[in-house]
């Protein structure tokens, strides 16, 4: 995983979220606030995808290629749990 890129993206999201907070404090138009929240959510999803991709290409690949059956099952279960959580609101 490229930590520099991930941190840069997260700091951008942080700044964007501060902007949304400011909009609410200033009683901005609701639809504008919702659109900005959706932009923050999309940016967080992008970071999450980037982190997951790195995990799949390192930890998961190593576990699947290894000889430890329990480790393979563990990492696959983790991936399943991540996807299950992503569908819950």
Q: Where are the domains of the chain?
A: 3-86
pLDDT in tens, the chain (89 residues): 689 999 999 999 999 999 999 999 999 999 999 999 999 999 999 999 999 999 999 988 899 899 999 999 999 999 999 889 888 76
pTM of the entire predicted model: 0.82
Which residue do the tokens 């299950």 mark? 84
Tell me, what's the pLDDT at 28? Answer: 98
Please, are residues 20 and 35 in contact by the beta-carbon 8 Å criterion? no
CATH 3.40.718.10 assigned to domain 3-86? The reply is no
């Amino acid at each position: 995983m490229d930590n520099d890129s991930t941190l840069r993206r997260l700091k951008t999201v942080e700044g964007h979220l501060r902007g949304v907070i400011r909009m609410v404090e200033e009683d901005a138009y609701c639809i504008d606030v919702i659109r900005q929240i959706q932009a923050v959510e999309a940016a967080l999803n992008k970071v999450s995808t980037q982190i997951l991709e790195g995990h799949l290409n390192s930890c998961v690949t190593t576990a699947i290629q290894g000889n430890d059956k329990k480790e393979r099952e563990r990492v696959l279960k983790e991936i399943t749990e991540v996807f299950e959580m992503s569908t819950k609101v």
